Amino acid sequence: MFGYRVPAPDQAMLISGGRRGQGGAPFRVVTGHGKFVLPVFRKVRFLTLAMCEAEVSETCVTRQGIALTVRAVIAFKVGNDTESVVNAGQRFLSDQDQMSVLTGRIFAGHLRSIIGSMTVEEIVTERQKLATEVLETSKTEMAKIGLIVDSLQIQSIDDGETGYIEAMSAPHKAAIQRQAQIAQAQATQASAEAEQEAVRNQAEYSRQTAVVQAEYAAEVDRAKARSAQAGPLAQAHAQQEVLAARTELAERAALLRQQELVAEVVKPAEAEAERIRLLALAEAERMKIQAEAAASHDRVALDRMLIDQLPQIVKEASAGLANANVNVLNGTDGLGEIAAGLVGQGLTILDSVRRNLGTPEADHSADRNGTTGKDNGHSGRVEIE
């Protein structure tokens, strides 16, 4: 729109003409929004609020009288408040580049002042302390011109050709070098140990790999061997089972044959033997009976024969008496005794024959003979010469 002006986000719009600004400022400050400005009657200028940079390279003398060249970088900007904008606008609006130049000069002076009160060792070892002190001492002065400092960085400290800083750092350098050498040696040792460990690990891995491969190969060989032996083993097992079945069948056949032999041979033989034994017993009993019968018959026949021969025996005995002198002492009784004696002699001969034949009747005959031959108590006596 004609006459309407809007400042950029990092700018402050300064409107001069018309009424005055805050605190009697010759212009009004507008930031963050637009403003209608009457042409011809009002004039608009813009002041940057962006970050600016100033570099400082200053030779300073320390408390020890040693000259040091200090290089620093200052980051600053115009303050966001209206008072800072008014102060900066009144000083730098026509030539805003002068803000960096003036800021550098201000900080150079403060650096010289603060470094003059410090030793080289403090400056080198306490750079942050130096930067903080410079910022603190320059804050009030920078606020007067509407600027604020965001940061101050000490980039370098150089003592030229004096060699003080280098000499000061020599022990530290030696210690650092020694530590570096130790660290290098340790690193080398660690590297060697790591390399040796890697070699051992590689060797162990190779060994394990070889073992695994060997085991795998052995397992494959065993599987192949089992596979190759599977057919023959199955055939052998089958043959073994066939042989076992045949053996069992043969055993059963042998047992059956044994039972058949027992039924066909042993039992009939035992029955025949029993039959023969019974027959033998029966025959023996029959023969015994026959023998007893025969013996009994023989005794009867012998007795009959002896009886039949007895008259002849008596006759023969009496014939022997024909030419003998017989004296009869007792008369008739004596003659009777002679006859009785002849008969007794015949019976004695009969008993003797029986004993020789083993007949039991011989004893009884002997008893009878003894009784017969006894003296009957008669007083007659016969004498035969």
Q: Are residues 34 and 102 in the same domain?
A: no
Q: Is residue 269 scored above 60 in pLDDT?
A: yes
- Residues 7, 65 within the same domain: no
**Domain assignment of residue 98, yes or no:** yes
Q: Which of 47, 42, 48 is nearest to 3 (CA)?
A: 42
Q: How would residue 300 be classed by pLDDT, with cut points 50, 70 and 90?
A: low
Residue 35 placed within a domain = yes
Selection from 382, 385, 376, 374 nearest residue 329 by Cα: 382
Confidence of residue 381 (pLDDT cuts 50, 70, 90): very low
**Amino acid 92: pLDDT:** 87
Has residue 102 been placed in a domain? yes
Who wins on pLDDT, 20 or 79?
A: 79
Question: 351 lies in which domain range?
Answer: 321-384
Q: Report the Cα–Cα distance between both ends of the chain, in Å, rounded.
A: 224
Q: Is the pLDDT of residue 101 over 80?
A: yes
pLDDT at 359 over 50: no
Give the whole-angstrom CA distance, residue 291 versus residue 311: 30
Q: Which of 50, 74, 89 is the last residue of a domain?
A: 50
The whole-number average pLDDT for the span 274-295 is: 76
Which band of pLDDT confidence, cut at 50, 70 and 90, is reported for residue 158? confident
Mean pLDDT of 340-357: 60
Instruction: Indicate whether 261 pLDDT > 70.
Output: yes
Which residues, other chains included, contact 318 with Cβ-Cβ below 8 Å and sequence gap of 6+?
342
Query: Can you name the residues that pair with 346 across neighbouring β-strands?
Result: none
Mean pLDDT value of segment 118-139: 87
Regarding whether 77 and 9 lie in a shared domain, the answer is no
How many domains in the chain? 3
Choose between 168 and 1: higher pLDDT.
168
| Range in 70-74, 89-93, 141-145, 365-369 with the lowest mean pLDDT | 365-369
What residue ranges in 130-222 does DSSP mark as E strands? 147-158
| Angle subtended at Cα 319 by Cα 361 and Cα 375, rounded to the nearest 5 degrees | 50
Tell me: do 60 and 157 sit in the same domain.
yes
* One domain, residues 31 and 62: no
Residues 347 and 371 in one domain: yes
Both 63 and 143 in a single domain?
yes
Q: Please compute Rg for the chain using Cα positions.
A: 87
Asked whether residue 254 is domain-assigned, the answer is no
Q: Please, what is the average pLDDT of the chain?
A: 76
pLDDT value at position 374? 42
Same domain, 97 and 57: yes
**Residue 81 and residue 35 in one domain:** no
Mean pLDDT of 76-98: 87
Helix (H) or strand (E) holding 72, with range, is strand 67-78
98-102, 114-118, 276-280, 372-376: lowest mean pLDDT where? 372-376
Point out the domain boundary residue: 162, 184, 216: 162
β-bridge mates for residue 359, sequence order: none
- Let me know if residue 249 belongs to a domain: no
Highest-scoring range by mean pLDDT, 35-49, 188-202, 369-383: 188-202
Quick one: average pLDDT of 211-240? 82
Residue 336 belongs to some domain of the structure: yes
- Considering the entire predicted model, what is its pTM? 0.42
Residue of 81, 123, 93, 121 whose CA lies nearest to 16: 93
**What is the CATH classification number for the domain harbouring 156?**
3.30.479.30
In a domain, 22, yes or no: yes
What pLDDT sits at residue 342? 54
Residue 285 lies in a domain: no
Q: Are residues 36 and 128 both part of a single domain?
A: no
| Per-residue pLDDT at 177 exceeds 60 | yes
- The share of the chain scoring above pLDDT 70, in percent, equals 73
59 and 155 in a single domain? The answer is: yes
Burial level of 12, CB count in 10 A (0-12/13-18/19+)?
A: buried
Q: Which residues contact 291 (CB under 8 A, 6 or more apart)?
A: none
Q: Among 74, 206, 250, 223, which Cα is nearest to 149's?
A: 74
Considering 139, 162, 185, which residue would you say is the last residue of a domain?
Answer: 162
Question: How many Å apart are CA 266 and CA 380, to the nearest integer?
Answer: 82
Residues 103 and 149 occupy one common structural domain: yes
Can you give the pLDDT at residue 7? 84
